[in-house]
């Protein structure tokens, strides 16, 4: 790396056309960093796949079928040609038990490495805790997207606070455009990959309490079924949701849209909504890109009390309700839909909150972090915290 220039960065992640939140995140981050052709040539992605390699286009430089040892060695050799490496981590995207091949990958790296954690479990298994411990010990910096995640790392994994950097999940600037709300019927929106754990049953049940409202609200659920759910059980979950809708007599209120929308099309849809509902079931969700996008679009959000929602909505950009209580969810929605002043105030608070969340700003912060750690040039270097990477 020459003085004054950005480092070359190799990424390890799922990547489009894979349909998952981490793939979308990484693609958006790389695009934000690739401001010009010269910068673009300094970035490369080792794409994690579940099957044989396919034709890949830049910025993908290698496709690693997870669990393939020979491929893993080739991936590390390629990554070692960069000034620094960014590891995107969630347990389910790597090979081995709980994705433990990520540790072998990092041990094979001779360049400074940053791990971005998309999940920080509050109650991991012993094996998951061991993976997280090794991941944090073997990397020069840990990036998380919420203060809650940073707190968990300190309190439950004994990570030194100085090694943690909080960089918000980015949002496409297209979400920040003017409101596109039209029509007399208010539109309430939930989007993302569909599957059990999204809490959509609770949201649908909540709308049974709102059927008396005039004008009648519209609740649209947008998104393709998660690929893993589709592989294991087909469209069973979506069909169950449709059956629940019919049993409650909500066919004229609840709508299903099974498309996986582009960022631009999704941004226009979100800007057309009056309110966003995130009824997730997980108490572990410390990062939600959907939540960030909703706030970036200046939309009031009603969410269950998952950690990222509690953190971001506490300042008035929305409301948080207990898990599994559709009547409480309905009550918050009724209040927001019935009070234009409340909606406007929540939208204003959301707009203020999202000021620094758009991808150009997030990308700049990320590259600053990579530049900082790229100064560590000695293989298996001892960092300022006294750690030493184990030779793999």
Residue 387 has pLDDT above 60, yes or no: no
Give the bridge partners for 388, in sequence order: 382
- pLDDT band at 375; cut points 50, 70, 90: confident
Whole-number pLDDT of residue 263: 87
Q: Where are the domains of the chain?
A: 9-170+358-374, 173-353
Whole-number pLDDT of residue 41: 74
pLDDT (average), residues 150-171: 96
Give the bridge partners for 275, in sequence order: 188
Q: Give residue-wise pLDDT tens across range 47-102.
A: 999 877 777 888 999 999 999 999 999 999 999 999 999 999 999 999 999 999 99
Same fold for the domain at 9-170+358-374 and the one at 173-353?
A: yes
| Cα distance between the two ends of the chain | 25
Alpha-carbon distance values, 274 to 56, 170, 339, 340, 342 (Å) = 39, 22, 12, 10, 12
Whole-number pLDDT of residue 379: 44
What is the CATH code of the structural domain delimited by 9-170+358-374? Answer: 3.40.50.2000
pTM: 0.90
Tokens of 251: 């066919």
Residue with tokens 């909504």: 273
Do 340 and 217 touch, CB atoms closer than 8 A? no
Ramachandran angles phi, psi of 382, nearest 5°: -85, 125
pLDDT (average), residues 107-120: 96
Residue 300 has pLDDT above 60, yes or no: yes
What is the CATH code of the structural domain delimited by 173-353? Answer: 3.40.50.2000
Residue 268 has pLDDT above 60, yes or no: yes
Whole-number pLDDT of residue 385: 38
For residues 353-374, one letter each, b for 16 or more C-beta atoms within 10 angstroms of the residue's C-beta and e for the rest, the string is bbeebbbebbbeebbebbbbbb
């Amino acid at each position: 790396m020459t003085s004054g220039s950005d480092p070359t960065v190799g990424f390890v992640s799922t990547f489009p056309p894979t349909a998952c939140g981490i793939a979308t995140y990484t693609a958006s981050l790389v695009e934000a960093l690739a401001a010009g052709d010269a910068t673009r040539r300094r970035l490369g992605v080792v794409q994690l796949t579940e099957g044989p390699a396919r034709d890949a286009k830049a910025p993908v430089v290698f496709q690693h079928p997870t669990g393939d040892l020979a491929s893993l060695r080739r991936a590390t050799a390629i990554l070692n040609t960069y000034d620094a490496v960014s590891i995107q981590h969630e347990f389910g995207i790597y090979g081995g038990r709980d994705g433990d091949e990520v540790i072998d990958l990092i041990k094979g790296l001779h360049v400074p490495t940053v791990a971005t954690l998309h999940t920080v479990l509050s109650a991991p298994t012993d094996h998951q805790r061991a993976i997280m411990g090794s991941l944090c010990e073997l990397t020069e910096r840990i990036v998380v997207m919420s203060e809650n995640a940073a707190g968990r790392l300190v309190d439950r994994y004994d990570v030194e606070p100085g090694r943690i950097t909080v960089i918000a999940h980015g949002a496409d600037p297209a979400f920040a455009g003017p409101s596109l709300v039209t029509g007399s019927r208010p539109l309430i929106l939930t989007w993302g990959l569909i599957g059990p754990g999204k809490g959509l049953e609770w949201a649908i049940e909540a709308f049974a309490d709102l059927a008396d409202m005039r004008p009648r609200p519209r609740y649209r659920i947008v998104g393709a079924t998660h690929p893993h759910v589709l592989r294991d059980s087909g469209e069973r979950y979506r069909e169950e949701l449709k059956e629940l809708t019919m049993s409650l007599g909500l066919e004229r209120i609840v709508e299903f849209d099974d498309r996986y929308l582009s960022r631009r099309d999704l941004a226009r849809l979100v800007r057309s909504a009056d309110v966003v509902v995130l009824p997730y079931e997980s108490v572990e969700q410390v990062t939600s890109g959907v939540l960030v996008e909703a706030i970036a679009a200046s939309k009031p959000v009603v969410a269950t009390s998952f950690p990222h929602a509690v953190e971001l909505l506490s300042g008035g950009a929305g409301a948080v309700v207990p898990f599994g209580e559709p009547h409480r969810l309905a009550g918050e929605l009724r209040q927001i839909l019935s009070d234009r002043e409340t909606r406007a105030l929540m939208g204003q608070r959301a707009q203020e909150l999202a000021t620094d969340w758009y991808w150009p700003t997030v990308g700049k912060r990320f590259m600053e972090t990579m530049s900082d750690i790229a100064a560590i040039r000695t293989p298996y270097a001892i960092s300022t915290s006294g750690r030493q990477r184990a030779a793999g």
